Amino acid sequence: MKVYFVRHGESEQNKLRVHQSGETSLTATGLKQTRALANRFKKISIDHIIASDYTRARQTGEELAKTTRKKIMFTTLLRERKRPSELIGIPYIHKESSKIYSILFKNRNDKSYHFSDEENFFDTVKRAKQFIALLESMHHKNIAVVSHGAFIKFILAVMIYGDDLTPDIYDPFYVVLISRNTGITVCEKHEDEFTEDHGTIAHRWHIITWNDHAHLG
C-alpha cells in the first residue's frame, strides 16, 4: 500500500495566523494551491481519496476528486487535533494562547488531564491509531489522504514509534517537521520485512517523501 498524505490548502485563518475552527474556508491562494495539487495528481496513480470533513480539507479533497475522478470518503478521524475552544480565533502569538499552552504543557503527561474540551496527547494518539487501522483494513493500493498539518504528524509519529510514542518524543518531532499547505508526504506499508536487527517485522511503514510541494513552484 502506498499512501499520499496531503495537507489542505491555505485557509483564511492560516493566513491570519490564528487558531482555526472546522468551518474555515480556503483563501484564493489556497484554491490556487489545490488546483496545482490536483494537476500534479494527474500523473500520480491513486485508487481512492479519504479526507477530513473540516471545510478546508473537504474543499482540497473535492478538487482532487474532481480532477482524478476518484471516489472520496470523508471521516472525522482525520480532523485536526482539537485544541481548547477558548483558543479559537486567538492568534498563535498572544498572551492568552501562551497562558493556555503553558498549562497544557505542564500537564502533557497526565492521561486524564483536560483544560476544557480539547483532545490531549493520548486522545490524539488513540485517534491516529484508529485511522491507521482503518487504512490498513482497506483493499486499495494507492490512497490519497487529505488532512491537517499537526494530525498528519501524529499519524506518522505513531507509524514510527507505535506504543513507545510519548509527549517528550513527539514534541521535537512536531517542531522539526515543517509542512507546507498542499505538501505531499508519501508512505509505504510492507506486509513482511526482514531486518538483521529485528528479524521479521509485519506491517512495517516507510516514509518515502516528506512535504513535497514542488507543484507550488
Whether residue 193 has pLDDT greater than 90? no
What's residue 204's pLDDT? 82
Q: What is the mean pLDDT of the chain?
A: 94
pLDDT in tens, 130-162: 999 999 999 999 999 999 999 999 999 999 999
Q: What is the pLDDT of residues 21-45, one digit of tens each?
A: 999 999 999 999 999 999 999 999 9
Range with lowest mean pLDDT among 92-106, 136-150, 186-200: 186-200
β-pairing verdict for 184-195 and 199-212: antiparallel
Which residue has 510492507 as its cell numbers? 190
pLDDT band at 201 (very low <50, low <70, confident <90, very high): low
60: domain CATH number is 3.40.50.1240
Structural domains in the chain (count): 1
Containing domain of residue 85, as a range?
2-216
Count how many Cα atoms sit within 13 Å of the Cα of residue 114 in the half-sphere of its side chain.
14
Which pLDDT score, from 0 to 100, does residue 203 have? 58
**Alpha-carbon span 114 to 120, nearest angstrom:** 6
Q: Are 5 and 177 in contact (CB under 8 A)?
A: no
Distance in angstroms (rounded) separating the CA atoms of residues 66 and 48: 12
Mean pLDDT across 107-115: 97
Q: State the pLDDT confidence band at 174, using cuts at 50, 70 and 90.
A: very high
Q: Which H/E stretch holds residue 51? A: strand 48-52
- C-alpha dihedral over 94, 104, 5, 177, to 10 degrees? 70
